[in-house]
Chain A
Amino acid sequence: MNIIVCAKEVVDVSEIKTDPKTNKPILQGIDKKISDIDKNAVEEGVRIKEKLGGKVTVLSVGPSEAREYIKELLAMGADEAKIIPYADTGDYNVVSTILAGAINNLGYDIILCGEASIDLFSGQTGPRLAQKLGIPQITYAKKLEPKEDTITADRDLGDKKVTMESSYPVLISVTKEINEPRLPSLMQILGAANKPIEVIAHSSLVSEETSVLERIDIKGVSMERKNIIYKDDIDDAIGKLVENLAKDGVLG
């Protein structure tokens, strides 16, 4: 089984603070990491390999300097990594075009992605990639049952649960619930140093990147508390709270 996992390096969004004056996120000095759900995708890829044999290749569009994050995925059990340096990883159309270009040069049976990256959470890269490669896709998978010729996936669609089956090749985006990514042991971390990381120029994959994304601004959402205290009779208070919540459109 030839498994490709797309993984993105992101800033650790839990550490981001916003500038109180401009409301813009302060990104300086914030730790980076591999987007959490992409780690679930890597874990799932490694599990499929452990079950059916084969190879797991990690593909990442992003900075090529901070290899420790990519190496972490190799330590988890991926066999090799390819990094395609590109500055604006927020443009999902360009990123999926670059990924498709890279993947077209590789053999593959399964492509795994996280349902979305934790920084921008557009959830677009995976589906666009499948469309560009012209292969079937299963999104929001929370359980996979891989077999030799087909794979079944339980999908979580909020109010509905759907089970789907596909032949290979197929692109699958996974949710956070699908597994608990393993922590690599010290020996696996040391072993990762010997696994190949190839850097590929994006210009060799796509002739021109067409950006369809217009970015107007990135701002923090400021949350202000209303500090209303209901202290009358408890039944009255509940009534008023419900009424006000409904007025604010919080309750339907």
Chain B
Amino acid sequence: MDFELTDNQKMIRNMVRDFAEKEIEPVAAELDEKEEYPHDILKKMAGLGLLGIIVPSEYGGAGLDTVSYAIVIEEISKRCASTGVVTSVHNSLVSDPILKYGTEEQKKKYLPLLATGEKIGAFSATEANAGTDLGAMETTAILDGDHYVINGSKMFITSGSEAGIHIVFAITDKEAGYRGVSAFIVESNTDGFEVGSIFEKMGINASLTAELIFKDMRVPKGNLLGQEGQGFKIALGTLDGGRIGIAAQAVGIAQRALEESIEYSQQRQQFGRPISKFQAIQWKIADMATNIEAARLLLHRAAFAKDQGGHFSKEAAMAKLFASETAVKAALEGVQIHGGYGYIKEYVVERLFRDAKITEIYEGTSEAQRMVIAKNLLQ
């Protein structure tokens, strides 16, 4: 057993850490404030291969392992959780299912566009009436000659207004329940594809979250991903991988909260000494650090399990559950350690506090993660 990262993983961490410090940190607060999508950052990330992390080299990617992927998302999210989730969705919710379920033709057409960042990816599953219960979706896809005609709408889609390539889920057989859901690769320039509202949010404000409306949107038959009726399985399998990305985002947020808290507590003087000398502060920091360490181990363990090729949905759910709850706690304590300053926008912990909460909600709420874990244990 070896807990050391490989040389490559360390080099990747150092490179992304440098990049995030130099290129993301200076603009992160402003992008959040202005609710501006990180187009420039993504362009630079593409140049470094960070938009094709897991895509094999024959399709223009770096073909890396999932632990390296987790390291990248953590380091990016430490500086900007919005860019973190955009990158995570792009890699693990869009490139990954195309790689896993796509035909050779689909892979050749779409993976290079995604890996080089020419197109950003979005994953369009949630609907107004179908969240945790994705099976309740109402969007339909009806075969008409060489095309599927898709009608319906999607809710809360990360990068929905910016992405060029969407994985869209729709019902192809109303009678078949879960087995009636199918997945499609949809280009955003397809007639009938419309962006509805862009939502104002509590946090991750630089990742635009959109409503999508499909009106008689004709998608070529060749863009069906996997088989008809396989959509629900594709969604769940893909979200297993996505949860590794969100766990990594959460670890990044928590780690930043810890680092900011250590630095601040050593500088801030009250009662004639740094507040880090008070046991109450020390214990907060000790607990934060311990939880983060545990979260990162669960994360890397889940990533490793994915690469081993077996079943990893329990591991991914545990990592996502624990890491997201760790992020929320760490951000909360981070603000507390900063006192009144922590409530002021000038201090990073204020943003971390707003950003952390979403990690307990998307790609399956904490309740949903517990359902997945329990199901794996009790079945």
Listed in ascending order, the chain A residues whose CB lies under 8 Å from chain B are 33, 67-68, 71-72, 75, 183-187, 189-190, 192-193
Contacts and interface: CB of A to CB of B under 8 A. Distances in A.
24 contacts: A33-B14, A67-B7, A68-B7, A68-B11, A68-B14, A71-B7, A71-B11, A72-B15, A75-B11, A183-B15, A184-B48, A186-B12, A186-B48, A186-B49, A186-B50, A186-B62, A186-B68, A187-B49, A187-B62, A189-B15, A190-B62, A190-B63, A192-B11, A193-B7
A68 B10 CA distance: 7
Contacts of B19: 183
Interface residues of B, number: 19
A238 B48 CA distance: 51
Nearest to A189: B11
Contacts of B49: 185-187
Contact of A72 (B14, B53, B68): B14
A86 B14 CA distance: 25
Contacts of B15: 72, 75, 183-184, 186, 189
B26 interface: no
Contacts of A192: 11
B308 interface: no
Q: Which 10 A-B pairs have the closest CB atoms?
A: A186-B49, A186-B62, A68-B7, A185-B49, A185-B48, A68-B10, A189-B11, A187-B49, A183-B15, A68-B11
Contacts of B7: 67-68, 71, 193
Contacts of A189: 8, 11-12, 15
Given A67-B7, A183-B15, A186-B49, 8 more contacts: A68-B7, A75-B15, A185-B62, A186-B62, A187-B49, A187-B57, A189-B15, A190-B63
B47 interface: yes
A193 B8 contact: yes
A202 B10 CA distance: 28
Contacts of A71: 7, 11
Nearest to B47: A185
Contacts of A184: 11, 15, 48
B11 A72 contact: yes
Nearest to B52: A186
Nearest to A181: B18
B198 interface: no
A72 B62 CA distance: 17
A86 B47 CA distance: 37
Contacts of A187: 49, 57, 62
B265 to A, nearest CB: 15
A25 to B, nearest CB: 18
Contacts, number: 47
A190 B56 CA distance: 12
Interface string B1-32: 00000011011101100110000000000000
B358 interface: no
Nearest to B23: A183
Nearest to B15: A183
A184 B18 CA distance: 11
Contacts of B53: 186
Contacts of B10: 68
A9 to B, nearest CB: 13
B262 interface: no
Contacts of B14: 33, 68, 72
A193 B12 CA distance: 12
A72 B14 CA distance: 9
B64 interface: yes
Nearest to B49: A186
Nearest to A75: B11
Nearest to B19: A183
A82 to B, nearest CB: 17
B6 to A, nearest CB: 9
B18 A183 contact: yes
B7 to A, nearest CB: 4
A71 B11 CA distance: 8
A32 B72 CA distance: 20
B64 A186 contact: yes
Residue of A33, A183, A189, A193 most packed against chain B (CB within 10 A): A189
A184 B49 CA distance: 9
A48 to B, nearest CB: 22
B78 to A, nearest CB: 16
A67 B6 CA distance: 11
A114 to B, nearest CB: 18
Interface in B270-295: none
B11 A183 contact: no
Nearest to A33: B14
Interface in B356-378: none
A223 to B, nearest CB: 15
Nearest to A188: B49
Nearest to B44: A183
A192 B7 CA distance: 11
